[in-house]
Structure 1
C-alpha cells in the first residue's frame, strides 16, 4: 500500500463498537471484495470492501473477518482467515500478509489460512444462535454484480439454515457515520493531498489546455503524495460541460473566457475527500460569472452554519433551498411569480440547483449514514451547492468537507484550499 501504516488501535476500537451492538451469542462475518475481471487475463485494480477494512485494516483480497464476542473459546472471539502466502506468490504478486503481519495490521490474534475456514466455521456455527451477514443497503446502492460477500452469505445460509440471520448493515450505518479522531486525521491527509493538487492546477490551467491534461496533473500530484489516486471518478467540465452533473469524458479543450468545474479529490488509506471548485480558464471571472460564483459561495457559507448536532438532513435541505431561492432571485434567474407558483415537490430553485447539498463522507465518498437520524458530533459531511445555467454556457459548484462539532460551526477540513473568487484570480495571475 502507498499509505503509511495505521495504528491498529483504530480497528480494535471499531470491532469493540460493533460487538457491543450484536445480539447475545451471535457471530458476524465480513469478506474482502473480489478482484474483478475485465477480459482475457486483465483485471480492475483491487479495491478493498470498506467494511472489512473499517473493522480490521486488512487491505488485500480473499480475506474473511469473524467477530464472535460470546464464543466459549476466547481465542475464537475474533478470527481472520487469509489466503496463505508463499515464496511463489511473493515473486509473482508481491508478499501478502503473513500471520504476524496480519496481527500487527489488525490487532486480531487468531489468524487461520483460508483453507481451514469451513472446518473452523463449522465449530463456530455449532456454538452460536444468530449469524450477521453483510448486505449492501446504502440508500444510493444499485448493484447488479454478485459480490464475494453475496456468495459467502448464500453459502452460509444454505449450509446452516437453522440459524437466525441478522444484518450488519444497520449497525455499520450508524458506527461508520461517526468518525474516530484517527479517521478524521486520515481524511485530513486526503484533503491536504487534494489541496496540493488544486494549487498545482491554479498555475497550470490556461486557454488551450485539455480537460484530460488537468486530470493528468492531478493524478501526478495525488500519487506523488501517497494516494492511490482519485477518491471517485474525476469530473473536469469546462464551459457547458459543467452543467452535466456527472460529466466524466474529460476530453474537451478549455477555451478563453470559459469556466472549468473541477469535482476532483484524492483518497488516502481508503478514506475519501470530496472537493469541487470552479475556476476561470483565462484567470479572471467576468462580472456575471463572479456574481453567480459569489451567490453559490454565499449559499455554501450559510448551509455550513446549519450543520450542527440535532439537524435533520431532510429539514436542512429545505432551509438551504430557501437560501438558494433568495440568491437566484437576486441574480434574476427567478422572479417572484416563479416562486409563488412553484410545485412544492419540485421548488422553482431546482431548475438551477437540482441536487442535494450535503452527504456523509468517509471510507466511501457517499458514506454510510442513516439520513433520518439527527446529526451528531464527528459526522463528516460535504457542503456542495451549485448553480447551473446551460443558456449562459457555464455552471458553478463549490464543495468542502466539514466535521460536525459539539458546539459551534463545523470544522472545515478544506479551509486551506482557496475558494474566494478574488483569491483564485490572484493566484492564477501571480
Structure 2
C-alpha cells in the first residue's frame, strides 16, 4: 500500500458500531473482493471490498472477517481469516499480512489461516442463531459478475439451511454514510492531492494538448503523493466532448477557444475525492463562456448551503432545479413558456442539466447512503451542477466535496482548489 498506516482505533470503533446494531446471538461475515482475471494469466489490479476494509483495515485478497459479539468464547467474538503467508509467496507476490501484522492493522487478536475457516466456522454456526451476510444493495449497483460474497452465501446457506439469515447492508450503509474524524482526514488528504494535480495541469493546458496528456499529468502528481491513482475513471473532455456526461475516451486534442471539462479525483487509503472544473484551453474565457460558467457557479454555491442536517435528498434536488431554471432563463436557453408547459417529471431545465446535483462520497466515489433518510452531520456530499449546450460545443460542470456540520454551512473540503474565473485564468497565465 502506498498510504501511511492508519490508526487501528478507527477500525475497532467501526466494528463496535456495527456490533451494537446486531440482534442477539448473531454473527456477521464479510469477504474480500476477488482478483478478477482478464485473460491468459493477466488480472486486474486488486481492489479491496470497502466493507471489510471499513471494519478491519485489511487491504488484502482472500480475507474474511467474522463478528460474533455474543460468542461464548471471548476470543472468537472477532476473527480474521487470512491467506497464509510464507517465503515463497513473499518472493513472488510480496509480503502478506502475518498474524502479528494483522493485529497491528485491525486490532483483532484472533487470526486464523484461511484453510482453517471451515472447521472454525462449524463451531461458530452451532452457537449462532442468525447470520448476517453481505450483498451489494447500492442504489446504483449493476452487478453482473458473481462476487466472492455471493459464492460464499450460496455455500453457507446450502450447508447451514436451518439458520436465519439477515442483511448487513441496512446497518453498514447507515454507518458508512456518517464519517468518523479520521475518515474526514483521509478524504481531505485525497482532496489535497487532487488540488496538487489540478494546479499542475493549469500551467500545462494549451491549444493542441491532448486530453490524455492532461490525464497523464494528473496521474503523475497523484502517484508522487502516495495515491494509488484515480478514485474513478477520469473524464477529460474538450469542446463537444464536455457535453458527454460519461465521456471516458480522453483521446482528442484540446482546441483554441474551447473549454475542457475535467472531472477527476485522487484516492487516498481507499477514500475518494471527486472534483470537476471547466478550463479555457486558450487561458481566457470568452464572454459567453463566462456567463454560463458563473451561472453554474452560482447554482453550486447556493446548493451547497442547503446541505444541512434534516435536508431530504429528493427535496433538495427540486430546490436546485428551481435555481437552475432561473439561470437558464437569464441565459436565454429556456423561455417562460417552456417552464409553464414543462412536464413535472422532466422539467424544462433538464434539457441542459440532466443529472443529479449531489451524491454521498467516502470509501466509494458514489458512497453508501439511504437517500430517503434525512442528511446528518458527518456526511460528505458532492455538489456538481452543470450546463451542457451541444450546439455551442460548450459544457460547464463545477464540483466540490462538502462535509455537513451540526450547525451552519457545510465545510468545503476543496476550498483551496481554484474555481473563480479570475483565479483559473491567473493560474493558467503563470
Q: TM-score surpassing 0.5?
A: yes
In structure 2, what is the equivalent of residue 105 of structure 1?
A: 105
After TM superposition, give the deviation of residue 313 of structure 1 in Å.
Answer: 0.1
In structure 1, what is the equivalent of residue 425 of structure 2?
A: 425
- Counterparts of 1:383 and 1:123 in 2: how far apart (Å)? 49
The answer for unaligned runs of 5 or more in structure 2 is none
Could you list the per-position Cα deviations for residues 325-344 of structure 1 after superposition, in whole angstroms to 9, with x for gaps in the alignment? 00000000011000000000
In structure 1, what is the equivalent of residue 89 of structure 2?
A: 89
Alignment of 1:55-74 (within 5 A): 55-74=55-74
2:341 is aligned with 1:341: yes
In structure 2, what is the equivalent of residue 49 of structure 1?
A: 49
SS of the residue corresponding to residue 137 of structure 2 reads coil
SS of the residue corresponding to residue 311 of structure 2 reads coil
Alignment of 1:342-361 (within 5 A): 342-361=342-361
- Counterparts of 2:153 and 2:231 in 1: how far apart (Å)? 28
After TM superposition, give the deviation of residue 387 of structure 1 in Å.
Answer: 0.2
After TM superposition, give the deviation of residue 180 of structure 1 in Å.
Answer: 0.2
- Counterparts of 1:189 and 1:426 in 2: how far apart (Å)? 25
In structure 1, what is the equivalent of residue 6 of structure 2?
A: 6
After TM superposition, give the deviation of residue 394 of structure 1 in Å.
Answer: 1.0
- Counterparts of 2:154 and 2:66 in 1: how far apart (Å)? 16
After TM superposition, give the deviation of residue 427 of structure 1 in Å.
Answer: 1.1
- Counterparts of 1:177 and 1:265 in 2: how far apart (Å)? 19
In structure 2, what is the equivalent of residue 283 of structure 1?
A: 283
In structure 2, what is the equivalent of residue 240 of structure 1?
A: 240
- Counterparts of 2:200 and 2:314 in 1: how far apart (Å)? 37
- Counterparts of 1:177 and 1:239 in 2: how far apart (Å)? 36
The answer for unaligned runs of 5 or more in structure 1 is none
In structure 1, what is the equivalent of residue 201 of structure 2?
A: 201
- Counterparts of 2:187 and 2:71 in 1: how far apart (Å)? 35
Could you list the per-position Cα deviations for residues 133-178 of structure 1 after superposition, in whole angstroms to 9, with x for gaps in the alignment? 0010000000000001111111111110000000000001100000
In structure 2, what is the equivalent of residue 157 of structure 1?
A: 157
Could you list the per-position Cα deviations for residues 377-416 of structure 1 after superposition, in whole angstroms to 9, with x for gaps in the alignment? 0000000000000001110000000000001000000000
- Counterparts of 2:144 and 2:336 in 1: how far apart (Å)? 45
In structure 1, what is the equivalent of residue 127 of structure 2?
A: 127
After TM superposition, give the deviation of residue 429 of structure 1 in Å.
Answer: 1.1
2:22 is aligned with 1:22: yes
SS of the residue corresponding to residue 38 of structure 1 reads coil
- Counterparts of 1:106 and 1:427 in 2: how far apart (Å)? 43
- Counterparts of 1:413 and 1:8 in 2: how far apart (Å)? 24
After TM superposition, give the deviation of residue 422 of structure 1 in Å.
Answer: 1.1
In structure 2, what is the equivalent of residue 390 of structure 1?
A: 390
After TM superposition, give the deviation of residue 48 of structure 1 in Å.
Answer: 0.1
In structure 2, what is the equivalent of residue 314 of structure 1?
A: 314
In structure 2, what is the equivalent of residue 252 of structure 1?
A: 252
SS of the residue corresponding to residue 278 of structure 1 reads strand
TM-score, normalisation: structure 2: 1.00
- Counterparts of 1:154 and 1:169 in 2: how far apart (Å)? 17
Could you list the per-position Cα deviations for residues 89-120 of structure 1 after superposition, in whole angstroms to 9, with x for gaps in the alignment? 00000010000000000000000000000000
Alignment of 1:165-244 (within 5 A): 165-244=165-244
Across the two proteins, how many residue pairs are aligned to each other? Answer: 430
- Counterparts of 1:257 and 1:19 in 2: how far apart (Å)? 57
RMSD: 0.4
SS of the residue corresponding to residue 30 of structure 1 reads strand
- Counterparts of 1:399 and 1:106 in 2: how far apart (Å)? 34
In structure 1, what is the equivalent of residue 301 of structure 2?
A: 301
SS of the residue corresponding to residue 43 of structure 1 reads coil
